[in-house]
Amino acid sequence: MLGKKIEEKSAVICIMGMGYVGLPLAVSFAKKGFSVVGFDVNEGRIRELSKGVSYVEDVPSDDLKPVVENGKFVATSDKSRISDADIIIICVPTPLRKTREPDLTYIISAVDMIRPYIKKDMMVVLESTTYPGTTEELIAPIAQEKGLNIGEEFFVAFSPERVDPANKRYKTEDIPKVVGGMTRACTDLACSLYSNIVPKVFPVSSARSAEMVKLLENTFRSINIALVNELAMMCNKMDIDIWEVIEAAKTKPFGFMAFYPGPGIGGHCIPCDPVYLSWRARLFDVETRMVELATEINNYMPHYAVDRIGDILNENGKAFSVSKILLLGVAYKADVSDVRESPAIEVIKLLQNKKAQVSYYDPFVESLNVEGEVLASEKQISAEKYDCIVITTAHSNVDYKKVAQSGIPVFDTRGVLNGLTNENVYLL
Q: Is the pTM of this model over 0.75?
A: yes
213 in a structural domain: no
Among the three residues 150, 172, 204, which one is the final residue of a domain in this structure?
204
62 found inside a domain: yes
- pLDDT, one tens digit for every residue, the chain (428 residues): 899 999 999 999 999 999 999 999 999 999 999 999 999 999 999 999 999 999 988 899 999 999 999 999 999 999 999 999 999 999 999 988 888 888 999 999 999 999 999 999 999 999 999 999 999 999 999 999 999 999 999 999 999 999 888 888 888 889 999 999 999 999 999 999 999 999 999 999 999 999 999 999 999 999 999 999 999 999 999 999 999 999 999 999 999 999 999 999 998 888 888 888 898 998 899 999 999 999 999 999 999 999 999 999 999 999 999 999 999 999 999 999 999 999 999 999 999 999 999 999 999 999 999 988 999 999 999 999 999 999 999 999 999 999 999 999 999 999 999 988 789 999 99
Give the C-alpha separation, 259 to 247, whole Å: 10
* 101 CB burial (10 A radius; 0-12, 13-18, 19+): exposed
Query: Which uninterrupted H or E stretch holds 181?
Result: strand 177-181
Q: Which domain holds residue 157?
A: 2-204
| Together in a domain, 261 and 395 | yes
Q: Catalytic pick from 191, 235, 269, 272?
A: 269
Neighbours of 361 (CB within 10 A): 21
Let me know how long the chain is. 428
CATH classification of the domain holding 59: 3.40.50.720
- The CA distance from 256 to 242, in Å, is 15
Number of domains in the chain: 2
Give a yes or no: residue 209 inside a domain.
Answer: no
Asked about 235 being catalytic, the answer comes back as: no
